[in-house]
Structure formats: C-alpha cells, structure tokens
Chains A and B, each alone.
Chain A
C-alpha cells in the first residue's frame, strides 16, 4: 500500500487548519532574523510601518486615520478588532458581551509549551481575552449584533471560547430580532482543543439555522484577510450576504496543503477574494472606507421588503 502511504504523507496538513499555521501556533520564541522582519502593527512601539503589498513606508498615525489602507496602493492592512468595532459602530453605543470568558485547557494539551501558558502569553501580549470580541451597538442608528475576530490572538484560531461567544451572540440576535454581522479573520481551528474545536463549527451552524432559516433574520458575513479553514467551512460562508475585503485571502485548505496534494504549483491569485468572486462564491467586494455606508444601505433595502414574513424592527 505504498501509494496509500504516499497519499497520506502528502496530506500532512489538514483542511480545517488552513493557512497561517505558524501565526496560529507560534510562541514567543523569535530568532533575531525573524524579529527584524516581523511587522508590528502595535502602534505604541513604532512610528512607521511598511505596506505588505507595495513595501511603501507608512506613518502609523496617518495609517490609522486612513483606516489602515495604504495610501499608495490601496492595500488593506490588518486591522485589530477594536479598530474594526470603531469603524462600524457609532460612537457611544457599544455594549460588549461576555468580556470575561477565557479558554480552559480541557485536554491538558502540551506541545512545546502548555496550552495554558500559550493562552496567558497571548493575552498579555495582545490585551485581548481571546480571538473574538462580541457585542451590540448601533450602525447609523440601527441596532445590530456584531462579532469581530482578531488575527493577532493565536492567529484567530477558533476554539471553545470563540464558539461559545459567537453562539451567544447569535442567540441574542435571534431573541432580539436584530441583524447579525460577523467579521471573520482566522487561521483555522484551534488544535489544542481537539475535537471540541470541531464541534464549535456545528454549534454555530445550529444556531445560525434557527436565526436564518427559522426566524428569517439577516446575517452578513464579512471576510477579511485571512479567512481559512474551519471558519470558511462554517459561519464564514453561511451569510445571507457575503462581503469580502479587496485582496483578502479566503480559502478552505491552505496553499501548502493543495500543493502537497496535487504536486504542482498553484497559480498566483488563486484563493484571493477577486478570484472567489469570479467563481461565484461571494456577493460583494467592499473596501473598508465604504463598508459602514454599504452596510447601512443594505439594511435599509432589506427593511423595505414589502412581503416580509416577520416584522423585524430595525429602527427603534
């Protein structure tokens, strides 16, 4: 059965883990070379940063004002979850949910470093409790339920906390008849929580079934750079409207997995948002500076549907 072994060998990297596995699992061990190349978006440490696309030097303060879009080439750099909330939610209306929820090491998982230590490290470094922030707020006056994932925390990996927070958010949105927006940015499922991470996909999909299919409420998924693995295979692709940012990397299996499976070079621009758009998998590609306006106008359109079965009051 050498062929089977070969095939199994070539499937070293699993689909749900997606791409950006190093980011998701890296500890604090940096070599000197990596320290130089690591671009910190943390503005307290540097005044200038470099665009990933055109290598242009960008002044961080102006970059933040410009919603982290490069002035030269229009490339959307990574944005932290707090900034994204400020981008979308009106000032003075944010009400966070489940701020104190943290991960538990139920498997007692320990690779080079124990799971508990890794969590503590990332919490200290990023100032977030886990890879997602959820809450309610108003978007141009419309109350919405918003969840924003953050790639800085363990590569946005989806574990029990992410699953539970999103599930509670969706349940709240269902009970309050609010539209739901989730901004996805993830490297895949969290391996340290084993099969429980897998079941989070099913858990989120089950409450989405009630929210979307049974109660006919709106759910908009916004896919940002990068969205891979388990998130693409569950709530990322289940939106009534799927919006992607320009040039976002959206995939199920990472590039390396596919290259190993097929033993051939992958063409450039293969799993980029524009390519998915051409293949009919996305609804819209919306740049960041237009996002809030587009969303509020979409809500207006949906609210004006004359044959709505349930009277959802978007406007209080």
Chain B
C-alpha cells in the first residue's frame, strides 16, 4: 500500500474522499452503519481469501486507518488527505478487503449473514441512460423543465401549461411503453441499469447467503448461487450476474459463465436436491463464454451435464428470465417446471446480431432478425415455451426495481405453492412432459419418394420388430399422468392437436 513498515499511526480527524454517499449516516453502532451501506475497514492481518466480495466494485487500495468507532474508509490520494501509516509487526502483506466490520458492537441475534455479502449498493447512483427510442420522452421532459425554469425566473404563472405538458408526457410514455416492438424490448433487456440477479435476490429474500466454488479449481463470478429465505421457506437461488458498471462487468465477465460456473451450478443443484431446497434460477446472460480455456475445460460438456441432471432433480425448479437469455448458456440452468419471463426479457437461440450476420450476411439486418426470431416473452408464450410473462413497471424494470422484484416474488410464490403439493415422481414426469411437447413437426403426410431417395430403406423383414414397442413417443407422453396441477394439461392437448394435422 505504499507506506513502509514501522511508521506511526496518526489519528486522522478529517475524512478525505469518502467512498460511500451514506457516510453522513454513520453514527451509533457499527452494525447500523454497515447496514446503511458504509464501507468497511480492512483487516490487514487476516490473510485468507476474499470472501465473496465483488472485487470489481471494490475498493483497491484502502488504508487501514479508522477513527475510534466510526467505520470510515479513507482513500489515501495524494492530493487531499494526510499520510497515515500503521505500525506493522512482521512483513507487510497484501491488503484483502472483507465485507465485515472489524468491531461488532453488541450481541445481535440476527443479521450475521449480511456481513458476508460482498454485493453492496453502488457508491454513486448510476448515470441515467436513454435508449434511442426514448428520445421523444427525454425531449418532452426537457421542455417541461425549461418551462418550469422560465416560470421560476420570470415569476409568471405557467402552471396550466406545465400541467398540460405533463399530461402529454404521461400519455406519450404510456403509449410508448405499452407497445414496445421486439427490437425495443431487446434494448431494454440489455439496458445497463437493469436490475441484476443479486438486486432481485436482496429485494425478495429475508435472509441470503451466497455459496461459492465448484470444488474443481475456480469460483466463477458470472454465475452466483446461494440460499435464501422467502416467507419462512428456504430456496436455492442461482443465476447469472451482470455487472452494474463497467468495472463490475469485467469482474463478472459480462455474465458469461465458464465451465466452472456451470459445474458450480450443478453442485448446488445436487446440494439442493439432497437437502430439499426448491430451486429458483434466474437467467440473464448473453451466452456462455467462448474462450480457449473454456473450450479446453469442456464448455459443451458442462452445459450438457447440467441439462441432463436437471431432469433428475426431485425438487421443484422455477426459472425466471430477467434479462437476456442467451441460448445454451441460459438453458444450462433453465430446465424447469415453470418458466417465467419478465415483459421485456428475451430468450434466443442465437443473438440477433449473430443471426443477422449469418443469414442476412450483414450486421445491419439485426432488427429484421430480432423480429423474425420471436424472442420476446409474449411470442414464446404462444409457442408454449413460457408459462407466464410478468408485466414490468412503465419505463422498464430499471425505473422501479423494487416493484419488479415484488412482482417476481408474487409469481414465484404462486407457482411454488402449486408445485410443492406434488410428489417427486410426478414432478419429474411433469418436467419431462413439459419439454416433450416443445417443437413442431409435420408428420402423417406421405412424403414424395424422390425426397427420401437417399435414405436407407427398410431391409428388415416385416414383423421382426415388436409392434407394441413402436407406438409413437408422443403417444407415450400423453399417457403420463399429470394430475393435480391445472394449466399443464393444456400443453399436452395443444401438442396433440398440433402434430395430428
């Protein structure tokens, strides 16, 4: 950290460059201060591994100074503060930051798990980003501000005009957000300020602890797993975590997991099955990471094993797509009993840019690809892939994250209550049946002989196969008993009518 050993501690009275805006709330016990988001001092003598800290949003280079009871961090930049150093015995060691305070005041019964979470509110409020299609709204808002300013400056009464403009603003906003096109929804799904997985989890759960590691060499920050409690029931949460700013994004690898991330998810799913936690997974990824190391470690294999294992779990699984769902990387934690999507979330097999570059040979055709691929929630609901689409507040999820989380929680609990009534065998069969009916084929129509001229004709003598065993697979899945849960029978009926054409 830049100061040598053996220097003296100077009691620092002023705070230079406070890291968190909530510094003014620091008073009283260290616990309150912690909960209000104040930053924490380092324990330089503890050398073990960072405990799940979001290193990206963190604080490199912190001094180990603190005034008596306050939890203030002071950044030692050369311009402002005084130099403070500490007497250190022994060799100087690397600074590690821990999310917990050094001194805990009082005997608190609850709230210990919160100390372990490295995911803190951002120090600065994120800059508002306007998407291209929101431009008219922004113009209107600027005009309203102008009129207001004018009113203040001149003292004349413009309240009627302001009211009119505000009404117009509301109307335009409503019209805009109630009728978003798929291209606009895609840009909202990729919005930099969209609430991330951990934002939702911390809003939904009463208690939360993040668990780490794939026991095979790496702890992938892109895929986060943990246990949380909602309304007295504990669940296993897992999801892709995007960063909230550029630094975090680099730490989280833009929510593109490596095989280690998927193996961590697999371990957690088995753990949940073993201990009886239902699984709630949240999808928000552009896809799995494509890199040399990822390929060598077996990216395809990790995804494949996740897919297969998820159908053998005896606990309910509910998947929510909160942002982008990028093909295999999303499906690896998305084989579920119920699939939920947010209104502006998308789920695609290939990103529209990739699709455009391949099929239309030009990246400029991305809007056309977005429309053609049918990636939004409502379109997927028509294809029986998605069970429910949760409406987002006007303006997208980033305009009101708390309300979005509340809606998600209500929907999840609704489905969970139904699923918890089923016994494990029925649950597994139902999950297989849900995916069994996805897909659309033409059959029953006699195909022109010329079209199948190169397919190998039947050579086995008639009657050599067991006729009972050759009933179509669809028939078999229709025999599956899916009792006691409404809404699932419609899947099976729809598929029956679809294939018999």
A residues with a Cβ closer than 8 A to B are: 1, 3-4, 7-9, 11-17, 21-22, 24-25, 80-82, 85-86, 91-104, 106-107, 109-112, 123-124, 126-129, 133, 135-137, 160-161, 163-164, 167-168, 171-172, 175-176, 189, 191-203, 205-210, 212-214, 230, 232-238, 251-253, 257-258, 261-262, 266, 270-271, 279-281
Instruction: Give 14 new A-B contacts, CB below 8 A, not counting A95-B465, A97-B470.
Output: A14-B351, A96-B458, A99-B452, A100-B444, A102-B441, A106-B383, A164-B439, A191-B355, A196-B439, A199-B435, A202-B307, A214-B312, A237-B304, A238-B308
B307 closest partner in A (C-beta): A205
With A and B bound together, what is the CA distance between A270 and B293 in angstroms? Answer: 11
The answer to whether A213 and B246 touch (CB under 8 A), given A102-B443, A128-B452, is: no
With A and B bound together, what is the CA distance between A53 and B445 in angstroms? Answer: 42
Contacts of B349 in A (CB 8 A): 14, 16, 189, 191, 193-195, 197-198, 230
B218 contacts chain A at the CB level, 8 A cutoff: no
Q: How far is the CB of B249 from chain A (nearest CB, A)?
A: 6
Contacts of A99 in B (CB 8 A): 447, 452, 455
Contacts of A232 in B (CB 8 A): 300-301, 304
With A and B bound together, what is the CA distance between A24 and B358 in angstroms? Answer: 9
Contacts of B472 in A (CB 8 A): 168
B107 contacts chain A at the CB level, 8 A cutoff: no
Contacts of A237 in B (CB 8 A): 298, 300-301, 304-305
B289 closest partner in A (C-beta): A261
Contacts of B354 in A (CB 8 A): 11-14, 17
The answer to whether A111 and B372 touch (CB under 8 A), given A171-B473, A202-B335, A271-B295, is: yes
Most buried by A among B331, B348, B474: B331
B299 contacts chain A at the CB level, 8 A cutoff: yes
User: Which one of A16, A191, A258 lies within 8 Å of B328 (CB-CB)?
Assistant: A16
Flag if B440 contacts A203 (CB, 8 Å): no
Most buried by B among A12, A17, A101, A200: A12
Flag if A195 contacts B295 (CB, 8 Å): no
Size of the chain B interface, CB-CB below 8 angstroms: 98
Q: How far is the CB of A275 from chain B (nearest CB, A)?
A: 8
Contacts of A236 in B (CB 8 A): 300, 304
Flag if A109 contacts B372 (CB, 8 Å): yes
Contacts of A206 in B (CB 8 A): 307-308, 311, 335, 431-432, 435-436
User: Which one of B190, B292, B335, B464 lies within 8 Å of A262 (CB-CB)?
Assistant: B292
- Interface stretch, picked from B52-60, B373-381, B401-409, B482-490, is B373-381
Q: What are 27 pairs between A and B in contact, CB < 8 Å?
A: A11-B290, A12-B354, A15-B287, A15-B290, A94-B456, A95-B458, A95-B464, A96-B455, A97-B470, A104-B440, A111-B368, A112-B360, A128-B451, A129-B451, A160-B441, A167-B436, A176-B466, A191-B355, A198-B328, A199-B438, A207-B432, A208-B308, A210-B311, A212-B308, A253-B288, A253-B294, A258-B290
B79 contacts chain A at the CB level, 8 A cutoff: no
Q: How far is the CB of B248 from chain A (nearest CB, A)?
A: 11
**Shortest Cβ-Cβ A-B pairs, 7 listed:** A127-B454, A253-B290, A232-B300, A160-B439, A205-B307, A252-B300, A168-B473
